[in-house]
Amino acid sequence: MMARLMELDTDLARERKILDSKSMQVNQLEAERLERSEERNALETELKDFEEKNRDVVTRDTKGGKGLADLKRIYAEQIQSITRQRDEERERGKKTDLKYRMAKKKLEQQYLDAREKFVPDFNSLAKLFLGPSRSLFLRTVPEPRCILIRQKAAWTSLTKHRRDR
């Protein structure tokens, strides 16, 4: 009988260990379940807040595909808006480019007019300043530069200038 009691005692100790480990596992699982449910609740509230803030895009009523149709309509409106803005920017760029070209032509013409006026005036002033014996003239080259050349040495200075380029 003593052997039977010892055997039952070892069986009871073994079952108690199994029961304790199982109860610990149940407690751990319960704690995990509570954490997960709290996390789920927090995510649900975040989702509700997001949906309330973005009601235009997010629709909860998806019966018959109405939510997708609304989303498609919103995307179409956004595409039209972006296309309209792009076209407006293109038009503004064309107008700016046209204004720039007109201003450039105007400045070029003003430069040519000033050069036409300056060269003869300079030649006459140089003749007045240096006298009739020293004949000087101002010669323009294709670039926007002018060269003062004595007539006697005109060809040597001009060829030297062309050589120095």
Q: State residue 126's pLDDT score.
A: 75
Residue 42 domain-assigned?
yes
Q: Compute CA distances 163 → 104, 137, 147, 157, 159, whole Å.
A: 32, 20, 14, 10, 6
Give the number of domains in the chain.
Answer: 1
Provide the pLDDT for residue 114.
85
Residue 35 domain flag = yes
**What pLDDT was estimated at residue 94?**
94
In this prediction, residue 138 carries a pLDDT of 52
Q: The domain containing residue 25 runs over which residues?
A: 1-51
What is the rounded distance in angstroms from the CA atom of residue 84 to the CA atom of residue 8?
88
Report how far residue 33's alpha carbon sits from residue 39's, in angstroms, rounded to the nearest whole number: 10
Per-residue model confidence (pLDDT) at position 43: 94
pLDDT value at residue 61: 53
Mean pLDDT by 10 residues, the chain (165 residues): 86 92 93 94 92 73 63 91 95 94 93 85 77 53 51 48 52
In a domain, 80, yes or no: no
Structural domain contains residue 146: no
Is residue 20, in this structure, part of any structural domain at all? yes
pLDDT of residue 121: 82
**Is 99 inside a domain boundary?**
no
Q: DSSP for 93-160?
A: HHHHHHHHHHHHHHHHHHHHHHHHHHHHHHHHHHHHHH-TTS-EEEEE-SSS-EEEEESTTHHHHHHH
Residue 158 lies in a domain: no
3-state helix, strand, coil in the chain (%, to 5): 80, 5, 15
Please indicate, yes or no, if residue 47 is contained in any of the structural domains. yes
What per-residue confidence (pLDDT) applies to 152? 45
